[in-house]
Chain A
Amino acid sequence: MSQPTELLYKYHKEINQPFPDSRALLSRALELMAQHLKLDQVCFFAWEPMESLLSLQLVWRGGACMDLEEDIAVADDSPLRTVLESGGVYVSQNLNYPAIYVPVRWQVSGRQPAGRPAAAKMTRMGALRMERLGKSWSFSSREKELARGLADELAQNLSHAELDQFNREQLGRANALNELTAVFASSIRVDDGLKLILQGIQKYFGFDRVRLYLVNHAEHKLKGELSADARGHVRSLAHEQIPLQPGVHRFADIVLGNSSGDTVTDKYRDTVLYLPLTVQGKSAGLLIVDNLLSQQPILHDDLVSLSSFAGQIALAVDNAMLFERVQELSQYDELTKLPLRRYFNERFQEEMYRAERFSQPMALIWMDIDFFKEVNDTYGHQVGDQVLREVGRVILSNLRKIDFPCRYGGDEIIILLPQSKADEARAIAGRLMQEIRDIRIPVPFAKVGEIKITVSQGIATYPGDASSGEELLTRADEALYWVKSHGRGTVAQYSEAFGKKASTGSQLFVEGEGSRTKNRQQK
């Protein structure tokens, strides 16, 4: 064997260089140790003093490094424990071949699980087990001294390797945050902004799942919004509504700042992270990230990055919500809460395409509030607005999910009824007519005390009455015109008003005041 100093220098030169990670450094170091000390096997253990556990990480044997497992419980009063804590070399008494344990102690930055107290630097401990299998060739004092020197050199390089790794991870986090910023910027002007934000956080931080809850200050609730997971699945959490009161639910407590550890949060402290979101000092929601599927601890540095980014996340969420609100305002009429004409045109084209493509029926109701101008002129615009509000409410509460109403302009309302034939459209129109007729608008300043409302409705169907979208609108308008010119307050379908049946004088009005039916000949 060469002189220890010479060997140590050689070893120092070989391992004192950049390695991709600490495992690569350890692999090389164990190999060199085996070579310099003529070992058959070298094992590297992690030492957990709190658990009195030596846990095998890596083994070099026969020219290869392998990740293997071996747990050794170290008794409190054992000499091995003394060596592990105070340094030195421990000669194994239990193995039937020569083997020594040499402790390794090094400093690391960060990399603490998020649930544990943060420390700028912490000491990590391990041990090397150097083995000469099946040989009676024990370790000399000089070899033990060399073994300690090799272990110390390894410790120094482990510190550097882990610092490099830590810096690379920090750089990765910084890049993730940069990319997320771009995602957030793009999420401001799209419909599914919240979805993009959550998917961005899940992807760039690599969490198993991200969930978002938003505070509804008016209802005093924490409402579930969305969840995005590692499979790429995005789910609505709309069914989760938590009263924002202390002691009701731990999510509410966290948002209210009353959270204290309990057995549940304690169990998940390494794998679940709760991040309250605030905008301008006001609670906006709660972001929850977890690694429950992979069971990988969320590191303290992830917590720091996410926390420092919480303001941006909250702002991005707020912007996305604001955008949705603006969208809503630009697409919906404030008074009736019905979609506006522009939005209707888009939907109408889509539905028309679907009806043509899949040969499905479709109906359209064109509605007009009778004498609306007179109401405005006589009782004022406030009463007129109230009429519109009430009509909108009745319409929204009487339609199916697939139906699409729209305030087309002034007092004209169009209702698109996908997958509906004439009789279904008539039934809906009849129901609407009846419920609108029951509306009473109080006008206490007028002699009448209250006013009643009636509507006229024209129906056209595809493909019965029209063969295109444009034609469908025209036919419904013509049917409406027919009703208006024949007494108002009723419903007519185009083919009945102008078609064969109508011309032979058959019953025209399917519903009318007091269920009266009128023959158009009478008009």
Chain B
Amino acid sequence: MQFWVLPNSGTQTVAHLRALLMEFKREHPDTRVDISVLTRDTLWRRLFECQREPRTTEVADLVQIPHYWTALFARLGILAELSSMDGPSSLEEWIEPLRPHCVLPGTSKIYSVPWCMDVTALHYRVDHLREVCANPDEQLSKWDGFVAACEALAEKRRGGNYFPLENANLRGSVNIRDLLPCIWNRGGDIFNTECTRAAVHRDESLRGMEDFLKLFSKGLMPLMRERGSLGTMLEGKASMVLSRRLSQSVLPAGSQPDFEVRTLPVPGEIFGSHSFLSSYNLCITKSSANQRDAMTLLKWLSRPTVQLAYSRLVHAFPPSAHGFEQFIFSSHERMRTYAGIVAGARSLPNVMVCGTYVAVLDQVISRLAMELVKGTYSSGMLMQEMVKVQVEMDYLMSLYGD
């Protein structure tokens, strides 16, 4: 059976999955699982190829997709309807905010189920921050205070390949998912309320994007550097990270740091503090020749205990209601930290054009990142690009609106 996954834990993805699936192999010794780790771009292309050339294309049986792809690939007939197979007939066992992303919009037909999820938060080294502010928790609650703290840290710890912020983007670059909390905190969004028009060109959305991009232009966060060439929080080469993973992700396994890492919501702006909640869902392809095996593995991976184990491995959050409760109530500190973050979390809508929209924005933001690296970036460039995106997306929504 072919299982396509996203690089959930970078170069460790296959190792982590093999470890997780050992128990499954004991239970199902005759089921062979071949894992392919694909980037979003490759996965996107290959799923479209499944539709275009179903006879010649290698088709996965089980696929991990970002939650906001469900509507698109269900509508294109690439995904199998799980609720019509021997799959889940209800979404009760997953936490409520993730449920709308599992179905074909406007129906109760289930096409994907959550596997793991992540939420943006700010993790910081208490010892470093105390050097530049008296009350880090308070100062880091507002975007201005956060930027001021970054600037103070940059000044104080200048040189030696130090950056106040680690870049948590796996690509070492920047994408729309990194920018979303800042856009929402400014009162902007990429869609209008009804998800019928693009809103990415509006002032508040542009201001939010600018907030994040300024971290690069001010040299507070590295951009497009050789991975591994940059220092980590553990080495003292960074003091903070805006990451969607848990704070443990910033510390290598087995490390015993002599400093404390604290977690806060994304620093807020006039419209409060929002996090980006993203779920990674599992689905079965319609053209799979091993749908039965794929369903067996999907069900196994959906067990709350398995989800909890996998989330621990990749420092993500378990999406099942039971697993999430176990996670959040495991310590008072965790409950205090994450209750607020999750309450302020928002997600991308599960509408047909969302995947295309994110892909187009990522292409544009990649180009802007190059301009940032070259030092030729300007706000005018951002506005110009977003107006073009808005025109294209409005047109696409008029064609493929749900």
The segment from B24-32, B168-176, B285-293, B294-302 found at the interface with A is B168-176
CB within 8 A of B229: which of A66, A71, A95, A292?
A95
Q: Is A229 an interface residue (CB 8 A)?
A: yes
Q: Which residues of A contact B373 (CB under 8 A)?
A: 73
- Shortest Cβ distance from A116 into chain B, in angstroms? 16
Q: Which residues of B contact A67 (CB under 8 A)?
A: 7, 36-39, 42
Residue of A nearest to B229 (CB): A94
Main secondary structure on B side of the interface with A: helix
Q: Which residues of B contact A293 (CB under 8 A)?
A: 72, 353, 356, 396, 400
B51 near A230 (CB under 8 angstroms)?
Answer: yes
B14 near A70 (CB under 8 angstroms)?
Answer: no
Q: Which residues of B contact A73 (CB under 8 A)?
A: 223-225, 370, 373-374
Q: Is B10 an interface residue (CB 8 A)?
A: yes
Contacts A53-B370, A69-B171; A206 near B225 (Cβ below 8 A)? no
B 247-288 binary contact with A (CB < 8 Å = 1; else 0): 000000000000000000000000000000000000000000
Q: How many residue pairs at the A-B interface have CB separations less than 8 Å?
A: 108
Contacts A95-B229, A294-B48; A172 near B53 (Cβ below 8 A)? yes
A62 near B370 (CB under 8 angstroms)?
Answer: no
Considering the chains assembled together, what is the distance between the CA atoms of A316 and B15 in angstroms? 55
A59 near B11 (CB under 8 angstroms)?
Answer: yes
Q: Which residues of B contact A20 (CB under 8 A)?
A: 58
B 374-402 binary contact with A (CB < 8 Å = 1; else 0): 10000000000000100010011001100
Q: Which residues of B contact A96 (CB under 8 A)?
A: 228
B396 near A292 (CB under 8 angstroms)?
Answer: yes
Considering the chains assembled together, what is the distance between the CA atoms of A203 and B301 in angstroms? 35
B11 near A71 (CB under 8 angstroms)?
Answer: no
CB within 8 A of A64: which of B37, B173, B363, B370?
B37
B 149-187 binary contact with A (CB < 8 Å = 1; else 0): 000000000000000000000111100000000000000
Q: Is B328 an interface residue (CB 8 A)?
A: no
B399 near A70 (CB under 8 angstroms)?
Answer: no
A72 near B172 (CB under 8 angstroms)?
Answer: yes
- Shortest Cβ distance from B53 into chain A, in angstroms? 7
B388 near A68 (CB under 8 angstroms)?
Answer: no
Considering the chains assembled together, what is the distance between the CA atoms of A296 and B366 in angstroms? 17
Contacts A295-B359, A296-B45; A92 near B226 (Cβ below 8 A)? yes
CB within 8 A of A292: which of B170, B228, B392?
B392
Q: Is B91 an interface residue (CB 8 A)?
A: no
- Shortest Cβ distance from B402 into chain A, in angstroms? 12
Considering the chains assembled together, what is the distance between the CA atoms of A66 and B14 in angstroms? 8
A292 near B356 (CB under 8 angstroms)?
Answer: yes
B39 near A68 (CB under 8 angstroms)?
Answer: yes
Count of interface residues, chain A, beta-carbon cutoff 8 Å? 38
Contacts A41-B11, A69-B7, A296-B48; A94 near B226 (Cβ below 8 A)? yes
A66 near B396 (CB under 8 angstroms)?
Answer: no
B15 near A62 (CB under 8 angstroms)?
Answer: yes
A70 near B227 (CB under 8 angstroms)?
Answer: yes
Considering the chains assembled together, what is the distance between the CA atoms of A295 and B353 in angstroms? 11
Residue of B nearest to A131 (CB): B228
Q: Is A231 an interface residue (CB 8 A)?
A: yes
A294 near B39 (CB under 8 angstroms)?
Answer: no
List A residues 95-135 near B (Cβ within 8 Å).
95-97, 99
A72 near B224 (CB under 8 angstroms)?
Answer: yes
Q: Is B309 an interface residue (CB 8 A)?
A: no
- Shortest Cβ distance from A200 into chain B, in angstroms? 14
Considering the chains assembled together, what is the distance between the CA atoms of A479 and B44 in angstroms? 69
Q: Is A267 an interface residue (CB 8 A)?
A: yes
Contacts A66-B7, A69-B171; A231 near B76 (Cβ below 8 A)? yes
A68 near B224 (CB under 8 angstroms)?
Answer: no
Considering the chains assembled together, what is the distance between the CA atoms of A61 and B37 in angstroms? 12
Q: Is A51 an interface residue (CB 8 A)?
A: yes
Q: Which residues of B contact A206 (CB under 8 A)?
A: 51-53
Q: Which residues of A contact B56 (CB under 8 A)?
A: 172
Q: Which residues of A contact B38 (CB under 8 A)?
A: 67
Q: Which residues of A contact B369 (CB under 8 A)?
A: 71
- Shortest Cβ distance from A93 into chain B, in angstroms? 9
B172 near A66 (CB under 8 angstroms)?
Answer: no
Considering the chains assembled together, what is the distance between the CA atoms of A64 and B10 in angstroms? 12
Q: Which residues of A contact B21 (CB under 8 A)?
A: none
CB within 8 A of B14: which of A62, A69, A97, A295?
A62
List A residues 273-305 near B (Cβ within 8 Å).
292-296
B224 near A71 (CB under 8 angstroms)?
Answer: yes
- Shortest Cβ distance from B20 into chain A, in angstroms? 14
A71 near B37 (CB under 8 angstroms)?
Answer: no
Residue of A nearest to B35 (CB): A64
Contacts A72-B224, A73-B224, A231-B75; A66 near B370 (Cβ below 8 A)? no
Q: Is B360 an interface residue (CB 8 A)?
A: yes
Q: Is B305 an interface residue (CB 8 A)?
A: no
Q: Which residues of A contact B72 (CB under 8 A)?
A: 293
